[in-house]
Amino acid sequence: MKSLKDKILQEGKVLSDTVLKVDTFLNHQIDPLLMKEIGEEFANRYSDEVITKILTIESSGIAPATMLGLTIGAPVVFARKRKSLTLANNLYSSSVHSFTKNETNEISVSRDFLTADDNVLIVDDFLANGEAVKGLLDIAEQAGANVIGVGIVIEKGFQEGGKNLREQGIRIESLANIKSLANGQVEFYDELI
């Protein structure tokens, strides 16, 4: 997606060979026009599927997932990283390790919002090692839901997550796939992988 790649090149900050900071438009401050375009792009890429629920993880996956939900008219369910008084029982849960934060969280979704009748599209901001997607796949499996695929805003193609998930037969659509962050420069894959 050209506009996303342009935004990454203009505003993204390469912090190391493995970390890209995109907090000016995706995961701290949000560019709503870009998020709208991202939602529409996911809708186009999955137009051959019937999606009844969009599943994401708080917090950076919520904006692109919501814009997709708005575009196709499907509810967005987000896995919470912390339990609260209102989210304590009757849950699907899974453990997820964050590459960027180097911490493990138990994520949870209420059983009221995900069922065996759902066709689910998982959406997230980044795909690195694939841990967040694996946790969301686990939750969908617990619910008996049918996962039709995964939509990723930015994939770090030089890490193993996308490759491993694709080898399991999971359809992944990444809007920007990064080949390298070496020497402080963002290099994209030219073709879909």
Tell me the C-alpha distance between 189 and 67, whole Å. 25
Within-domain flag for 3: no
Number of H helices, E strands in the chain: 5, 10
Q: How far apart are alpha carbons 144 and 26 in whole angstroms?
A: 31
Binding site: what residues are annotated? 20, 27, 128-132, 156
Task: Report helix, strand or coil for 171.
Answer: coil
pTM of the model: 0.93
- List Cβ<8 Å contacts ≥24 apart for 19-25: 19/100, 19/181, 20/154, 20/156, 20/178, 20/181, 20/186, 22/154
**Binding site members for xanthine:** 20, 27, 156
User: Is 38:1 a contact under the CB 8 Å cutoff?
Assistant: yes
In terms of residue numbers, what domain contains 134?
A: 33-179
Judge whether 75 lies within some domain.
yes
Output the tens digit of pLDDT for each of the chain's 193 residues.
999 999 999 999 999 999 999 999 999 999 999 999 999 999 999 999 999 999 999 889 999 999 999 999 999 999 998 766 556 578 999 999 876 778 888 999 999 999 999 999 999 999 999 999 999 999 999 999 999 999 999 999 999 999 999 999 999 999 999 999 999 999 999 765 4
**What is the count of structural domains for the chain?**
1
Residue 9 lies in a domain: no
Q: What is the dihedral of CA 93, 144, 117, 128, to 10 degrees?
A: 60
Q: Residue 117 has what pLDDT?
A: 97
**What does DSSP assign to residue 58?**
T
- On whether residue 43 sits in a domain, the answer given is yes
Residue 24 in any domain: the answer is: no
The answer as to whether 59 is a domain residue is yes
Q: What is the pLDDT of residue 193?
A: 44
Within-domain flag for 187: no
Task: Phi first, then psi: give them for residue 177, nearest 5 degrees.
Answer: -115, 115
The binding site for 5-phospho-alpha-D-ribose 1-diphosphate consists of 128-132
Q: Is residue 67 part of a domain?
A: yes
The pLDDT of residue 83 = 65
**What is the pLDDT at residue 147?**
98
DSSP-derived secondary structure letter, 130: S
Residue 81: its pLDDT value, please?
Answer: 86
CATH number at residue 40: 3.40.50.2020
